[in-house]
Amino acid sequence: MKENIKCLIIGSGPAGYTAAIYAARANMNPVLYQGTQPGGQLTTTNDVENFPGYPEGITGPEMMIQLQQQAERFGTDIRDGWATKVDFTGPVHKVWINDTIELHCETVIIATGASARYLGLPSEQKYLRSGGGVSACAVCDGFFYRNQEVVIVGAGDSACEEAHYLSKLCRKVTMLVRRDEFRASNIMEARVRKTKNIEILFNTETEEVLGDGQLVTGVRIKNNITGKTTDIPATGFFVAIGHQPNTDIFKGHLQLNETGYIINTPGTAQTSVEGVFVCGDAADHVYRQAITAAGTGCMAALEAERYLSSVELSTVE
């Protein structure tokens, strides 16, 4: 089964839906495949309070429903399914959906996002799903734990940056480092060590996230040298062990960095292949916010429209 498409958007979430809104309003007849997690990472977030335009806040799933409805209002064809293979070697950009549908696209906008890495503990996943105190984004959720005690797991630059951010909001931040040293840069490590309300526990791993069934109340930790376990009080448990961009199918077809993020031309959404654009967390390993994802979704759609116009103009000439 083959289908010709003017503008294909792969993935949903703030980036994909925003790209769809702009592409639809530009009469590009966008088709959007929602991917394996319709709505993206925000569907696992209970409260969103930092997205402009929602003075009372909004739940992540509700925001994604509204963005989808807005994209559909302007004519976006939103479909279930996910991209399983691509071929960007020729003048036509080919994308396969669920290994059965072959799409021939004039432009492609990639909005596949990234997935936060978690420890995988049953207790961690329980309170993550319930929204009871587990998070992978201090900037997103730290405000909810102001003047409280929290725990953060990680040893790299991102973990240090998030720990420092939390220290400005929380009464105490306990940082769990699995080894006897940081992986972070010297300047980030020094910043954490100098912060008085951050306690660093080396050679320490998480045994269990403790709670009352609804909310996190503490963390059971284990010293991996002595084997001693300890329960420490906490109302929030932050995981900062990295993100994995959902870009595997683009390896060998687009230029990616060493960790798998798609490389775009600075200041644009253009990838290494003409007519293929990227937005959101598939390229952004710095900010990873809904508002920045939406902004790059706008950029991708505008650039796709300009690309189509330039191709049409060259054909006429």
CB neighbour list of residue 208: distance below 8 Å, 6 or more residues apart: 121, 123, 219, 220
Structure tokens at 229: 């376990």
Buried b (16+ CB within 10 A) or exposed e, 130-151: ebbbbbbbbebbbebbeebbbb
Structure tokens at 76: 């976006």
Eight-class DSSP state of 189: H
- β-pairing verdict for 172-176 and 149-153: parallel
Candidates 77, 99, 105, 137; catalytic one:
137
Q: For this structure, is 137 an active site residue?
A: yes
3-class SS of residue 121: coil
What values do phi and psi take at 9, rounded to 5? -115, 120
Q: For this structure, is 141 an active site residue?
A: yes
Candidates 7, 105, 140, 160; catalytic one:
140
What values do phi and psi take at 100, rounded to 5? -125, -30
Candidates 7, 77, 80, 141; catalytic one:
141
Q: Where are the beta strands (DSSP E) in the chain?
A: 2-10, 31-33, 77-79, 83-87, 93-97, 101-110, 114-116, 134-135, 149-153, 172-176, 198-201, 204-211, 216-223, 229-233, 236-239, 243-245, 276-278
Cite the active site residues: 137, 140-141
